[in-house]
Amino acid sequence: MDHPADDEVLDAVGPRLRALRRDRGITLADLAARTGVSESTLSRLENGQRRPTLELLLPLARVHGVPLDDLVGAPRTGDPRIHLRPIRRFGMTFVPLSRRPGGVHAFKMIIPARSEPLEPALQTHEGFEWLYVLDGRLRLVLGERDLTLPPGEAAEFDTSLPHWLGSADGGAVELLILFGLQGVRAHVRTDPHRSPQAGNHR
């Protein structure tokens, strides 16, 4: 027999999944394609008409890039790890992965899927940025260069150059970012005879 507290936890999963999906800018159809779970099942799960199971929650946690505990709202009593909360900015989600002041800051960045592409709005600021594409196809506009980076590719550049990050094909993009202020930079050494340059690196 289920405990009443367990029922409350399970009842909260649907609204939490719906809020997370909308926050990511993902449609039910997109989510179904990426998880292999039918659109109708996802809809019933969000509406509380389908009981959440581990088989359903695991692919959702993977696609959204969150721990399984976050989907079910499990308490973290005794967990010594620091759990950092996502930040929404410029229509994108940033998950801080480091908290130390100064030096290089690490983020996971999620660009939501869009039905219509955005026009690049280039910006500049002090610092140096290194990025690595985890999933999706990233469009990086850097000055007069317009690059497309698939999963597994990286780039580094001085952020005083006009730049913009977005989706190359309208799909969601996930990437890791290392950002340093005042000339602090991260280097990727792929060839001992080649110096890192701003742009695209394998």
Q: What is the pLDDT of residue 182?
A: 52
93-134 pLDDT, tens per residue?
888 777 655 567 888 999 998 877 788 889 888 888 999 999
- Domains, in order of start, for the chain: 4-72 (1.10.260.40), 87-201 (2.60.120.10)
- pLDDT category at 192 given cuts 50, 70, 90 is very low
pLDDT of 160 higher than 70 = yes
57-92 pLDDT, tens per residue?
888 888 877 777 777 765 554 455 555 667 777 778
- In the chain, what is the straight-line distance between the N-terminal and C-terminal CA atoms, in Å? 54
6-61 pLDDT, tens per residue?
566 677 788 888 888 887 788 899 899 988 999 999 999 999 888 888 888 888 88
